């Protein structure tokens, strides 16, 4: 980890080399193919997609601020902020109801 590591906009922890994952703020399937992206920790990115459907992401949760304000993501982010930047964990299966 170096001082030049990018910072995850969700948890505000440095992203170690190779630990980042590009998130399309508007899902590619919902017209966001050329749209804005943000670099997130892989664990943060997985949690976003375990929590929200593509439709919800496109409609309501298409900004970093909106993602941070989602109750379940807010709880997760408060938890993960206490972990080291390279921390990885398995996100248990699909928990989102369809």
pLDDT(21) > 80: yes
Averaged pLDDT, 5-10: 95
Residue 98 has what pLDDT? Answer: 45
Mention every residue, 6+ apart, whose C-beta is less than 8 A from residue 53. Answer: 96, 98
pLDDT for 90 equals 63
**Higher pLDDT, residue 4 or 51:** 51
- Residue-wise pLDDT for 26-79, tens only, equals 999 999 999 999 999 999 999 999 999 999 999 999 999 999 999 999 999 999
CB of 16 closer than 8 Å to CB of 5: yes
């Amino acid at each position: 980890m170096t001082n030049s590591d990018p910072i995850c906009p969700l948890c505000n922890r440095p992203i170690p080399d190779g630990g980042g994952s590009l998130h399309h703020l508007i899902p590619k399937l919902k017209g966001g193919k050329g749209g804005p992206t943000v670099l997130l920790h892989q664990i943060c990115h997985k949690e976003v997609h375990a929590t929200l459907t593509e439709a919800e992401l496109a409609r309501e949760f298409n900004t970093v601020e909106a993602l941070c304000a989602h109750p379940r993501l807010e709880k997760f982010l408060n938890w993960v902020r206490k972990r080291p930047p390279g921390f990885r964990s398995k996100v248990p299966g699909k928990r989102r109801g369809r």
